[in-house]
Structures are given as structure tokens and as C-alpha cells.
């Protein structure tokens, strides 16, 4: 493989790792909203739930939970951003199921994949597939994960009777 595809694949790896950390934190926020004193209840109730469903349930519970308007708005915004990152992650990661040994970059890989799957079009893949574009998505996933970690701490404080903005 060339340096170009190696850089793209490394960037996709970082994107996936950063998104997995984001998803874990989002799940913990949902568990906290389900039962603040015992996350295991939330773990049991959400076992096997895909991340888009976790996003939906988190939005629903944030709307129903007595929180300050500021905290509620921060939660809704972070969950919406997590959804955008998920879509970008899916577009990059799932668009390239197979990478031929002679691929020079992921455009080559996508072309081979699209030929194998007649129901797929180039429109389903981000226009920019260079390593820098994928790195930006990985950075976005990391940053949203950090925001969710801060929200988790604030939710925990607020739901335990403390004050969280």
C-alpha cells in the first residue's frame, strides 16, 4: 500500500477509536439518566441498543429529567453533535469494506467496493476522502467525546442534588 492509503487508514482507525470513546461516554450519560444511583440498571436496559437509538433515548430522557435549561441545552446540543459525528464515521468506515492490494488511496478502494455492490453510489461517501479530511473527523469525534465527558460529570452532580450549570 502507498503512503496515501496508509495515512487514510490510520486516520480511519483514529476516527473509529475516538468515536468508540464518544459512544461509551454517551451510553454512560444515558445510564445515569435512567437511574442516577446505579448505572448497572441502565446498562441492562440498553444492552444491545445501537448508538442511534442511544442518541434518541438520551434526547428523550434529557427532555423529561428536571435539569437546568442550560444543562438541558448543552446535553441536547452534544447529542446532536454526536449524531453528526456518527454519520461521518459511518460514511468513512462503512464505505470502504474492501481495499484491493493495489489500491493507491481510498478512492480506488471505494471504486472496487461500488463495483461489487450495485446499490451503492459515490454520493454515499464523503466528497473529500483524503487523510486530512478523515483526521478532521477523528478530531471532531475526540472533541465531542470531551464535551460528553464534561456533561457526564455535570449530569452526575445535578442528579445527585448538586449544582451543575
* Beta carbons within 8 Å of 134's beta carbon, 6+ residues apart: 8, 11, 12, 15, 92
pTM of the model: 0.81
pLDDT at residue 164 in the model: 56
CA distance 47 to 27: 10
User: Could you tell me the mean pLDDT of each successive run of 10 residues in the chain, 165 residues long?
Assistant: 73 94 96 90 91 96 95 97 92 68 62 52 56 91 97 94 66
The CA distances from residue 60 to 3, 55, 65, in Å, are: 45, 9, 9
Amino acid at each position: 500500500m502507498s503512503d496515501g492509503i496508509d495515512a487514510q487508514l490510520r486516520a480511519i482507525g483514529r476516527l473509529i477509536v475516538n468515536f468508540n470513546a464518544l459512544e461509551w461516554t454517551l451510553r454512560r450519560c444515558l445510564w445515569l439518566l435512567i437511574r442516577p444511583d446505579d448505572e448497572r440498571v441502565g446498562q441492562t436496559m440498553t444492552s444491545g441498543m445501537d448508538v442511534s437509538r442511544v442518541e434518541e433515548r438520551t434526547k428523550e430522557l434529557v427532555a423529561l429529567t428536571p435539569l437546568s435549561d442550560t444543562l438541558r441545552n448543552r446535553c441536547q446540543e452534544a447529542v446532536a453533535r454526536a449524531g453528526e459525528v456518527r454519520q461521518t464515521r459511518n460514511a468513512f468506515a462503512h464505505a470502504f469494506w474492501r481495499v484491493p492490494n493495489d489500491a493507491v488511496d481510498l478512492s480506488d478502494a471505494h471504486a472496487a467496493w461500488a463495483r461489487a455492490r450495485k446499490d451503492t453510489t459515490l454520493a454515499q461517501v464523503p466528497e473529500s476522502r483524503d487523510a486530512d479530511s478523515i483526521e478532521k473527523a477523528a478530531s471532531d469525534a475526540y472533541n465531542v467525546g470531551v464535551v460528553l465527558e464534561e456533561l457526564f460529570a455535570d449530569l452526575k452532580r445535578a442528579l445527585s442534588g448538586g449544582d451543575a450549570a
